[in-house]
Structure 1
């Protein structure tokens, strides 16, 4: 089939919801190309507009890591789009064949894909559908971003071409803000790319569930397991930076330009980057005693001899982000222990002496018990049989308000003097 008297179709390369892609040959320029033909879209009135949008969007970009658009037109009431032919297939096919890729391969893919996205973002274009099937590999392994069919221009939100509240894109790679129905921005593409890189390393997307809605909820609320928790041998710097690309808040993610420069420079082999906030919160939460969860973070070389009270992970686990040490007990010196003993013995001796003095002072053999007197000239003598209290407020010894309580002289009953006997009328003593 010859389209537009110029493009001769060959083998079919693929078919999607909107169109089918054919290998073709440009007879005018004598070069191989890919031709995408729009399928009849009776149920989707926006299909033709989206197809035109793809041509306009990709046509504004000329970059080594973006599939270039060469022509656009209509043939027998069908729109067609002519693009560069990418011979190597897509990352989706590569995943199906290998399941996972090495860290070196993924780092190169990350640098090239982010470079292509940065070029689009500089032109005000957000792809909105970054996924393995839309990341193509050329014959020499060069990555190229394709399928800008649902892209949008930042300066023209109306070109999103979606109904109110409708989410376009693939749920496995959809950024949290887009799951909330918010407008996609450059950071949304970075998040989607992070999901793809995660799958290339681990063989699975960050979040999986039985329904697209459940996956969207996980993008919003869940923290994905780290690649190293899934058994992937990955430099800590690479892992932490990747988790940063998956940060829930758009402003916490690096830009596509930063991602491209970081991976291209080989920084993924260097010092670990800071974890995003949700991973820090998750780490602190799991680090509490009794949770039983392993906490991961930047890898640290283990000490040669762990000190007492230090939490040390097993050889095949990651290091905890915080290490708790038991507070050291201050030793007590021998002379301090002896001083304390002497002080205790001295106190006991003083107590015994005071007890003996008190017993001797208040013994019945003592002649008197004295209270402090306010006026030494005033003395009150009481009978031995009179009840007496040493308290100033005792009955029978209450002092008047104008005169302070006087000193009491007590005569014990055992030492009372006998009363003199009265003489009888004869001058003699009375006999009893």
Structure 2
């Protein structure tokens, strides 16, 4: 084991994975492009590089591995393996050649956002059906691969519901990115499918408009009640030509009262899938061609 710049430097080879180059580094660790020598393919390998990994980091790796492994859906990044090197956990994922939603130029044409929304809702539906709450939905945790398929990433803050909620233990307390937290979470309420849907609504609102609803008070990034925003029809006014049903679906996700949101991701997914076939409109195809994917920054997995 060696130290480089105040962090742990992994060996060149981690089991059958040969590290090629560093792709990104974040709070939970680092992601490397690696060559899987046993199957001759490129993968993304995520591991902790802190000198002394704390308990929350170790728990995050365990939670993420269990969460993604149980979902197994085209709209969720695939985890191939979980292992350990020199006492440190690592995860091996499919290498996604694309770009995160955080890298797109906003605002996007609403038809393009609808296509993204379908992929996001399908991935979230699959997670919820398997008893997994994401708890950190944001643009940096979703990626479009080279063929336009949307994939959800980073389940390190996930929580488990139903019979699986005690194993492994999810991080307690208010977790996630403050900018995308549902209002009830600030009051100490537990995460629910509705709080994931709120974050999804904010993400879609941002993609359509280029920004988030105005936010007041000390928690300057916490969205306020819909009534104080004069919410009715606001998205239709901000995004000319948007399908009113699509705008209504986004606004329903953003209801301050969780009971007024969709009860589950499956219901939202059904609405979005009914609104139209992605790419059927020539304007959609033209818009999409202006946002072609490029190799992604693996910091989005951190």
Aligned position for 2:257: 249
TM-score, normalised by the number of residues in structure 2: 0.80
Matched, 1:20 2:30: yes
TM-score, normalised by the number of residues in structure 1: 0.57
Indicate the SS of the match to 2:84.
strand
In terms of fraction of residues, the more strand-rich structure is 2
Indicate the SS of the match to 1:22.
strand
Distance 1:175 1:222, change over 3 A: farther
Distance 1:129 1:222, change over 3 A: farther
| Match of residue 21, structure 2, among 11, 15, 23 | 11
Indicate conservation of the 8 Å contact 2:64/2:156, yes or no.
yes
Deviation at 1:250, TM superposition (A): 1.7
Matched, 1:168 2:175: yes
User: Distance between the aligned counterparts of 1:224 and 1:43, measured in 2?
Assistant: 46
Matched, 1:179 2:186: yes
| Match of residue 214, structure 1, among 183, 207, 220 | 220
Indicate conservation of the 8 Å contact 1:179/1:220, yes or no.
no
Indicate conservation of the 8 Å contact 1:58/1:69, yes or no.
yes
Distance 1:14 1:183, change over 3 A: same
User: Distance between the aligned counterparts of 1:268 and 1:189, measured in 2?
Assistant: 25
Distance 1:35 1:160, change over 3 A: same
Per-residue deviation, residues 148-176 of structure 1 (Å, max 9, x unmatched)? 000010035552222xxx31111221112
Distance 1:145 1:196, change over 3 A: same
User: Distance between the aligned counterparts of 1:217 and 1:208, measured in 2?
Assistant: 5
User: Distance between the aligned counterparts of 1:220 and 1:2, measured in 2?
Assistant: 52
Deviation at 1:245, TM superposition (A): 1.1
Query: Greater CA radius of gyration, 1 or 2?
Result: 1
Matched, 1:54 2:60: no
Distance 1:56 1:241, change over 3 A: same
Q: Which consecutive residues of structure 2, in runs of 5 or more, have no partner in the other structure? A: 1-10, 279-302
Deviation at 1:49, TM superposition (A): 1.1
Matches within 5 A, 1:272-421: none
Higher relative contact order (CA 8 A, sep 6+): 2
Matched, 1:116 2:150: no
Measured on the aligned residues, the alpha-carbon RMSD in Å equals 2.4
Indicate conservation of the 8 Å contact 1:110/1:259, yes or no.
no
Deviation at 1:13, TM superposition (A): 2.3
Deviation at 1:22, TM superposition (A): 1.5
User: Distance between the aligned counterparts of 1:207 and 1:135, measured in 2?
Assistant: 24
| Match of residue 267, structure 2, among 238, 258, 264 | 258
Indicate the SS of the match to 1:39.
coil
| Match of residue 208, structure 2, among 190, 197, 201 | 201
Indicate conservation of the 8 Å contact 2:208/2:239, yes or no.
no
User: Distance between the aligned counterparts of 1:220 and 1:21, measured in 2?
Assistant: 39
Deviation at 1:260, TM superposition (A): 1.6
Aligned position for 2:236: 228
Deviation at 1:81, TM superposition (A): 0.5
Indicate conservation of the 8 Å contact 1:113/1:144, yes or no.
yes
Indicate conservation of the 8 Å contact 1:130/1:189, yes or no.
yes
Distance 1:70 1:240, change over 3 A: same
Indicate conservation of the 8 Å contact 1:41/1:47, yes or no.
no
Indicate conservation of the 8 Å contact 1:99/1:200, yes or no.
yes
Matches within 5 A, 1:124-143: 124-143=131-150
User: Distance between the aligned counterparts of 2:87 and 2:217, measured in 1?
Assistant: 40
| Match of residue 70, structure 1, among 68, 80, 85 | 80
User: Distance between the aligned counterparts of 1:60 and 1:219, measured in 2?
Assistant: 35
Matched, 1:148 2:158: no
Indicate the SS of the match to 1:80.
strand
Aligned position for 1:188: 195
